[in-house]
Amino acid sequence: MLLANLTMDRYQHVYVMRHGHRLDNSDPDWAAKAARPWDPPLFKDGMVRAFQTGQRIGSQTGFPIHRIFVSPFLRCIQTASQVVAALSSLPNAMSSIDKTKLKVAIEYGLCEMINSVAIWTEVSPKDGKFDFNISDLESMFPEGMVDHNVDPICKEIPQWEEPPEECRERYVKVVKTLADKYPTENLLLITHGEGLETTFSTFYKDTTIDEVDYCAYVQLRREVSSKDGDVETGEYEVSQTGIRFSHDPVVNQTMDSYQHVFVMLHGDRLDNVDPLWAATAGRPWDPPLFLNGMIRAFKTCQRIRSQTGVPIHRVFVSPFLRCIQTASKVVAALSLFAPRDLPSIDKSKLVKVRSSAYCLNSAEMFFFLMKRFGAEALNPPGVQNI
């Protein structure tokens, strides 16, 4: 590709940003009455935070943002709209955006992970088809800002039950391809939590993500130069805002002479989020997990899986529902495909044990829990990975 109009800044800057706070995490009843429960909008606080993040990016950078690529999910479109509004509101001396030249495009490759790990089966489309009215989404941006001439990296949404590893490969492909496609332009990519985690861990090696805030972002910077009229690019430098991570320990894959015991607290309980829940519950003393509790339990055990080089042989769990649901997410996370050099679980030998004297294998535990608590207690996405 020929190098055209390389600005005074000899670096390309690529921001990858997570959307703002989603409504269903603040209103547990929203999904039950929503027409598209799998595609929640932003909560009011999410709008505010997206706008403030756009202001921070605009005021702290001394270079223009040329293009914004955004996932078609509503929470990402709304986040992008607030970022554009924030950048456009800054005084010219502070703004990192040329309002007359900024272009926006919807990119399917930045969409949510399309499987029951990220989108609960209870709220996903029954036919497995995630439809988006692109014209309506594009209308949320100022007139003339949407670039209809952009050829998307991914032409459509992935099929339902997209394997997690394929999803992560998709995110990396989109980030790298867009950066290479527009080497002399600075980009802002607005995506989902998994997309941000994947981007950071790909370009910042040997790290484990602990938590990603809403509107967190990664900044990738690389040197761009011209040689004989062609573009040459350097290695990426990485910085981030809103991501808590740890450096991976060096794992000794030889025979481990130590016993490892993890003691874990259950996830976020529903009655702490919805004070009225207990008044109508059949078992008010035994609350289930809130949605965030499911997600945190799953991500915690992804972290355990990535940081340990030893198998997990047994899981002991309290009989309280919030602990049982946490355990189901533990098994789901541990059972996901792991890199060959991180075999933290032997699924054929994992045994789960109740707090009583009963020792149950995976299949027996599944049927026991189904009989004890019902299908809704287990949360099917976790069980499917057993």
Please tell me whether residues 16 and 110 are part of one structural domain.
yes
CATH code, 138? 3.40.50.1240
Residue 229 is encoded by which pair of tokens? 């009229």
Average pLDDT over residues 241-253: 75
* More confident site: 383 or 27: 27
- Alpha-carbon distance of 225 to 233, in angstroms, equals 6
Model confidence at 9, in pLDDT bands (50, 70, 90)? low
pLDDT tops 90 at residue 10: no
Tell me, yes or no, whether 358 and 290 share the same domain.
yes
Q: What is the mean pLDDT of residues 68-90?
A: 95
pLDDT band at 260 (very low <50, low <70, confident <90, very high): confident
Question: In terms of domains, do 104 and 25 share one?
Answer: yes
Percentage of residues of the chain with pLDDT beyond 70: 78
pLDDT of residue 342: 44
131 and 186 belong to one structural domain: yes
Specify the range with the lowest mean pLDDT, choosing from 93-97, 330-334, 351-355.
351-355
Helix axes 291-307, 321-335, angle to 10 degrees: 40
Q: Are residues 38 and 100 in the same domain?
A: yes
pLDDT category at 307 given cuts 50, 70, 90 is: low
Q: What is the mean pLDDT of residues 68-88?
A: 96
Provide the residue range defining the domain that includes 104.
11-247
**Residue-level pLDDT at 340:** 39
Give pLDDT, residue 311: 73
Look at residue 333 and tell me if it is in a domain: yes
Are residue 316 and residue 192 in the same domain, yes or no? no
Q: Are strands 359-361 and 351-354 parallel, antiparallel or unpaired?
A: antiparallel
Domain boundary among 214, 247, 280: 247
116-158 residue pLDDT tens? 889 988 899 998 899 999 999 999 999 999 999 999 999 999 9
Q: Which residue did the predictor score with more confidence, 203 or 59?
A: 203
Higher model confidence: residue 92 or residue 181? 181
| 164, 274: one domain | no
Amino acid at 49: R
123, part of any domain: yes
Residue 124 maps to a domain:
yes
Mind listing the pLDDT tens digit for each residue in 276-288?
888 888 999 999 9
- Is 253 within a domain? no
State the DSSP string of 325-337.
HHHHHHHHHHHS-
Residue at token pair 């554009």:
84
Last residue within a domain, chosen from 247, 281, 307: 247
Highest mean pLDDT among 196-205, 265-274, 308-317, 348-357: 196-205
> Among 32-36, 145-149, 310-314, 359-363, which is the least confidently predicted range?
359-363
Could you give the CA distance from residue 233 to residue 336 in angstroms, rounded to a whole number?
35
Task: State the total domains in the chain.
Answer: 2
- Poorest-pLDDT segment among 6-10, 165-169, 171-175, 197-201: 6-10
* More confident position, 14 or 332: 14
Range with lowest mean pLDDT among 177-181, 280-284, 293-297: 293-297
Report pLDDT for 274.
84
pLDDT, position 341: 41
Residue where a domain terminates, one of 247, 280, 297: 247
> In this structure, is residue 264 part of a structural domain?
no
> pLDDT higher for 350 or 112?
112
Q: Which residues contact 243 (CB under 8 A, 6 or more apart)?
A: 196, 197, 200, 209, 211, 212, 213, 216, 218
Evaluate whether residue 258 is within a structural domain: no
Residues 243 and 274 in one domain: no
84 versus 64: the higher-pLDDT residue is 84
Whether residue 327 sits in one domain with residue 220 = no
In a domain, 260, yes or no: no
Predicted pLDDT at 97: 55
Looking at the fold, whether 99 and 223 belong to one and the same domain comes out as: yes
Query: What pLDDT is attached to residue 283?
Result: 93
Q: Specify whether 176 is located in the same domain as 276.
A: no
Q: pTM value?
A: 0.71
What is the chain's mean pLDDT, rounded?
82
SS3 at position 361: strand
Q: What per-residue confidence (pLDDT) applies to 25?
A: 87
Q: Give residue 345's pLDDT.
A: 54
DSSP strand E in the chain: where?
11-18, 67-70, 103-106, 187-191, 207-227, 230-233, 237-247, 314-317, 351-354, 359-361
Q: Are 374 and 286 within one domain?
A: yes
Does 334 map to a domain?
Answer: yes
Share of the chain above pLDDT 90, in %: 52
